[in-house]
Structure 1
Amino acid sequence: MVTVEGLTKEFPGGVRALDGLNLSIMDGEFFALLGPSGCGKTTLLRTIAGLESPTSGAVRIGDRDVTPLAPGARNVAMVFQDYALFPHMTVRENIAYPLKIKRQPRGEREARAGEIGGQLGLAGLMPRRPAELSGGQQQRVALARAVACRPSVFLFDEPLSNLDARLRLEARTFLKRLQRELAVTTVFVTHDQAEALALADRIAVMDAGQIRQIGTAREVFRRPSTTFVANFIGSTPMNLLSGEVRGDGIAVAGGTVPRPDGLSDGEPVTVGIRPEYLPVLTSAQHGALSGEVSIVEHLGTSSLVTVEIDGELVAGTVAEGDEPDTGTRVWLRPVPGRVLIYRVGDGTLVS
């Protein structure tokens, strides 16, 4: 288990990268730190690793307070974005290097490197050097090196970002399977929400040095706790529309959605509806939003249809082959139970 207690990190000039974070990562969990560039996720990972010293707060791994310990004394393994392989060493030597630092006998460390390399499909590449390997092969060498030292915690700093799209998908599947087999607590930093949703047991969405929401992939996708999380999570951005409470409903984009408890008549709100929960219809229906098709974007098995409604652009989805023509009038009817209401002042979820 990895526990962060009141962690703050300030850099010279008063820049606060981490702002009093509290976080518990369960034993054996695959946990993702997700957020835009500059949100503090890599600083948090490096602080857990011991590569950064916190200004205040503590880091615990298991029952040990590792805050004052050097990286080598924490029993963690880190895989970097650029893999950080030694160019003059062979694959076998790269994998075995952490064991050499621990002064294990040469025969033992070479046997261990061969065993791990074979498990990760590197058996035929052991005599090669990094320059002779593809990006995917280099990534597997970096993973093998991390696995070889039998760490308590894996720390991954965007390890897939240098791969092309197809290889990234393959590596993602491989990485998740490997983590399940090893059952090692894993902290994974990424700015790619698709990676986080696909890989992680739980996700912490970060912004400006703070954690905005922690939850499973399903929780943060279906019920983002703030408009920031709502706008950040999802392959297509959530529609965030201006609305106003009127009677027993909320008026939004020329239509009406149900009103939750806890709101006052006339109160302005932000209505959140994911395009996936806003099907495009070609005939009028009660409560539907109506407008003119502005853009159609083909996504494969579905298409994203952007509709102009009273000067606002609202995105919905339609099945492949049912795309409306640009300029035609369509109706968007929210899926029941999939409309989220946020307060205007602080952007927090009402219902």
Structure 2
Amino acid sequence: MTGSARSDGVSRRRIMLATTAAAAAMAVPGTATADPDRRVPCDTPEPVPAQVPASEGFLDVPGARLWYWDTGGNGPAVVLVHPGSGSALSWPYQQPVFAKAGYRVIAYSRRGHYNSSPPAPGNPGVGADDLQALVDHLRLRRFHLLGAALGGYFATDYALLHPERLLSLVILSSFMGISDPEYLRVTSLLRPPGFSDMPHDFLELSPYYRAANETGARQWREISDRSLGGHSVDSQLVSQPISWARLETLSVRTLLIGGDADLYLPPPILRMIVGHLPGCSTLVYGKAGHSANWERPVDFNRDVLKFLSGARFPRESCR
């Protein structure tokens, strides 16, 4: 696999984590969000902080071209894998906070999402293979991996395929690609006919957040709209089915995160998964939906940074 950058080279410049007017309008220099130890009420709107300088580039993989950004630096790398409604633009609350904590922060858009080429018809590719191509291109020997929602499928698959490459695994509000028939039956009961036709923000942001933070909900929608470009994207594949038996072989230090108002993955479903990963840490955020990294960024960033540095949390620690 070969990597290629923009025609003027991979430029070092400030990416306002959207490289779009929407994200530029959201960035607020000097906000206290950059302090991961600060505690704020969960209904207090948090301005999106100014982004740190990052480079961006393209990577050619078989059948596609992927866009990524990279803050660089000598610290441990954290690779962010976005939800199905997002792209590499989806992390403006995390990019500066993780980078200022000493990490090299990297995100990429999967096939068909913002700035990456669409998947070939009938051949969406294997998500873990694209991730492997990216980390090899960036010469990451070992790194932390964070996957959100659909991105958690490919992060989980990658962790099962390449545990030796990971320092830790964080999964946010994800079904993790689990294929157990009873698990699929139970989770399908949460999605009545017409569920998937509802707007993404209704499905992924809690009603508490949408009522308390109209501006934040609008900004989330703007990023999602740009990420998807007004069209649906075929989901990528996992390398092989993720059965309970396969999941139980996961050896990477893992943190599972959910929200108590998540329409997709409420706490009882999270507990089903935890039952097969007895060594993992678990956090459940109160009054949060499917996007705790957006709805509760101060708490999310603080807790993830603690976990990356070696902390563990009691099983189903509530926030």
TM tier relative to shorter chain: under 0.3
**Larger RCO, structure (CA 8 Å, separation 6 or more):** 2
Higher share in helix: 2
* Structure-1-length-normalised TM-score: 0.25
Give me the TM-score of the superposition, normalised by structure 2.
Answer: 0.27
The structure with more radius of gyration = 1
